[in-house]
């Protein structure tokens, strides 16, 4: 696979939530794999053989990589020069105006530029704004390099990447058929199905996939708000909508829709549509407005001003240790203005401001379920304690 190069693949951003599982998968299927990541703490952790975050099967895959003899981890980019494929999977956030920020991707390319060599293939795996692939292709050509760019977006569910890389169709795109074929061969060692697209189609496909999910969550969250505003139990309505009715099979339940991807990718699409993606903005208003709605529901039942409130869960989704862009933090901020004290707990998230579950359970007068971790389903909560549980995680409705 490496041809004229000593090594097969370097994952730039390979210490991250997507980059690390991908690098471990490349290594597992026999590629000589390099990780380059600027986060020195993560690099050290991976070198010690410790997974920096939770990932199903991740520790075992890292253990295998360490002993494989074909895995190296660096916080400086020089090994890029040895690799046939460079897979770039750095974070691609939106800025304070909710516009895509190109800084991270440019910085990453610039830090690698000195080590790019003719004949390499640069695979963009981050979620990017439409036309960025073409822009990057032009950018490397202007540096006089014969480096071919491909765009192969990542679509896994964080935490389950190692399984999903192998089970989900891979979207692949490039600017010429030879590059497309080489990229297909690279992923073909573990992926079973491919969807070939033009780069800009693939860029939009990825953004639309995430925006679609975000809109679906917003729709059901708005239904929840309408029903609960009128004092109705939305779960009974949801059951009615879905029960043995195939056309509503895909209807999700209500809950916090946030995390590191859905909001920012919806906003990238909104920026691309030059402000005409009204559904995207509406979805953000609904999803981001849910914490305040939950507090209003609690305030109908109790005066919170002299009470302690407790938040169960800080991660952005269940069974996950990642608090990035979690609405639990927004809920905590709002509650800090409304209640005497707010206590938050999470079994997975490392955050010194969190307290043990027992403390929340014994001291909180009102409980909010922010993340539906499985452990909460077993909790014994006195029937007279007010619980605001948008997920129906505790099954009290």
Ligand X SMILES: NC(=O)c1ccc[n+]([C@@H]2O[C@H](COP(=O)([O-])OP(=O)(O)OC[C@H]3O[C@@H](n4cnc5c(N)ncnc54)[C@H](O)[C@@H]3O)[C@@H](O)[C@H]2O)c1
Number of residues that bind ligand X (CB under 6 A): 28
247's CB contacts (< 8 A; 6+ apart) are none
> Tokens 């403390």, residue?
359
Closer to ligand X by Cβ: residue 217 or 234 = 217
Instruction: Tell me the window of 15-23, 228-236, 330-338, 384-392 that interacts with ligand X (CB under 6 A).
Output: 15-23
Q: Starting from the edge strand earliest in sequence, which strands make up the sheet with 366-369, in order?
A: 341-345, 308-312, 366-369, 386-388
Select 36 or 190, whichever has its Cβ closest to ligand X.
36
Beta bridge partners of 311: 344, 368
Interacting span for ligand X (CB under 6 A) from 151-159, 334-342, 356-364, 376-384: 151-159
Question: Within 10 A of 343 (CB to CB), how many other CB atoms are there?
Answer: 24
Rounded to 5 degrees, φ, ψ at 346 are: -160, 135
Regarding 17 and contact with ligand X (CB under 6 A), the answer is: yes
Tokens encoding 326: 């979690």
Reduce the DSSP state of residue 337 to 3 states and report it.
Answer: helix
Smallest distance, ligand X to C-beta of residue 77, A: 7
Residue 127 engages ligand X in binding (rule: CB under 6 A): yes
130 contacts ligand X (rule: CB under 6 A): no
Q: How far is the CB of 154 from ligand X (least distance, A)?
A: 4
Looking at residue 131, what DSSP letter applies?
A: T
For ligand X, the closer CB: 92 or 339 = 92
126 binds ligand X (CB under 6 A): yes
Q: Supply the minimum distance, in Å, between the C-beta of residue 170 and ligand X.
A: 12
Q: Report which residue's Cβ sits closest to ligand X.
A: 16
Q: Using a CB cutoff of 8 Å and minimum separation of 24, what contacts does 162-169 make?
A: 162/21, 162/24, 162/25, 162/55, 162/56, 162/57, 162/58, 162/61, 163/56, 163/57, 165/21, 165/22, 165/25, 165/190, 165/191, 166/25, 166/190, 166/191, 166/192, 167/192, 168/193, 169/193, 169/194, 169/195
Contact 166, 190 (CB under 8 A): yes
Using the minimum distance from each CB to ligand X, give the nearer residue, 162 or 298: 162
Contact in structure between 333 and 352 (CB atoms under 8 Å): no
Question: Which residues, numbered 153-182, are part of the site for ligand X (CB under 6 A)?
Answer: 154-156, 158
CA distance 346 to 350: 8
User: What is the SS3 assignment for 72?
Assistant: strand
Strands (E), the chain: 7-12, 33-36, 71-74, 83-88, 121-124, 148-151, 170-174, 194-197, 308-312, 341-345, 366-369, 386-388
To ligand X, the closest distance from the beta carbon of 128 in angstroms equals 7
Binders in 28-47 for ligand X, by CB under 6 A: 36-39, 42
Rounded least distance, CB 82 to ligand X, Å: 16
List binders of ligand X among 250-279 (CB under 6 A).
Answer: 260-261
Q: Is 221 a residue that touches ligand X (CB under 6 A)?
A: no
Binding mask 87-116 toward ligand X (x if CB under 6 A, else -) reads: --xxxx-----------x--xx--x-----
Q: In this chain, which stretch among 7-15, 170-178, 218-226, 349-357 interacts with ligand X, using CB under 6 A?
A: 7-15
Q: Choose between 96 and 378: whose C-beta lies nearer to ligand X.
A: 96
Q: Is 12 in the site for ligand X (CB under 6 A)?
A: yes
Window 60-89: residues binding ligand X (CB under 6 A):
89
From candidates 5, 8, 11, 19, binder to ligand X by CB under 6 A:
19
Binding residues for ligand X (CB under 6 A): 12-13, 15-19, 36-39, 42, 89-92, 104, 107-108, 111, 126-127, 154-156, 158, 260-261
């Amino acid at each position: 696979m490496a041809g004229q190069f000593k090594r097969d693949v370097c994952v730039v951003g390979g210490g991250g939530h997507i980059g690390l599982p991908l690098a471990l998968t490349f290594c597992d299927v026999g590629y000589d794999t390099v990780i380059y990541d600027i986060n020195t703490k993560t690099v050290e952790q991976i070198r010690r053989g410790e997974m920096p975050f939770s990932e199903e099967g991740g520790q075992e895959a890292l253990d295998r990589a360490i002993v494989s003899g074909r895995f190296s981890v660096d916080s400086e980019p020089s090994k890029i020069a040895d690799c046939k494929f460079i897979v770039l999977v750095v974070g691609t956030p939106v800025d304070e105006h909710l516009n895509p920020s190109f800084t991270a991707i440019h910085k990453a390319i610039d830090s690698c530029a000195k080590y790019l060599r003719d004949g390499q293939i640069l695979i963009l795996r981050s979620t990017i704004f439409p036309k960025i692939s073409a822009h990057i292709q032009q950018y490397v050509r202007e540096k006089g390099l014969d480096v071919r760019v491909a765009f192969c977006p990542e679509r896994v569910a964080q935490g389950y990447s190692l399984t999903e890389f192998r089970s989900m169709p891979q979207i692949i795109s490039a600017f010429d058929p030879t590059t497309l074929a080489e990229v297909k061969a690279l992923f073909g060692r573990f992926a079973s199905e491919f969807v070939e697209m033009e780069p800009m189609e693939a860029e939009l496909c990825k953004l639309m996939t995430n925006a679609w999910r975000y809109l679906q969550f917003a729709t059901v969250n708005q239904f929840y708000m309408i029903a609960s505003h009128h004092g109705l139990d939305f779960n009974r309505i949801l059951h009615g909508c879905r029960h043995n009715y195939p056309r509503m099979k895909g209807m999700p339940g209500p809950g916090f829709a946030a995390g590191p991807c859905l909001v920012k990718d919806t906003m990238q699409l909104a920026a691309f549509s030059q402000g005409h993606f009204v559904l995207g903005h509406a979805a953000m208003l609904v999803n981001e407005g849910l914490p305040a709605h939950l507090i209003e529901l609690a305030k109908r039942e109790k005066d919170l001003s002299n009470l302690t409130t407790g938040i169960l869960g800080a991660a952005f989704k269940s069974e996950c240790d990642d608090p990035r862009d979690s609405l639990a933090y927004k809920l905590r901020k709002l509650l800090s203005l409304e209640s005497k004290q707010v206590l938050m707990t999470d079994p997975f998230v490392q955050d010194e401001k969190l307290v043990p579950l027992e403390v929340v359970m014994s001291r909180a007068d009102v409980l909010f379920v922010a993340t539906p971790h499985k452990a909460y389903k077993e909790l014994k909560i006195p029937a007279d304690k007010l619980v605001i549980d948008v997920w129906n995680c505790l099954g009290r409705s």
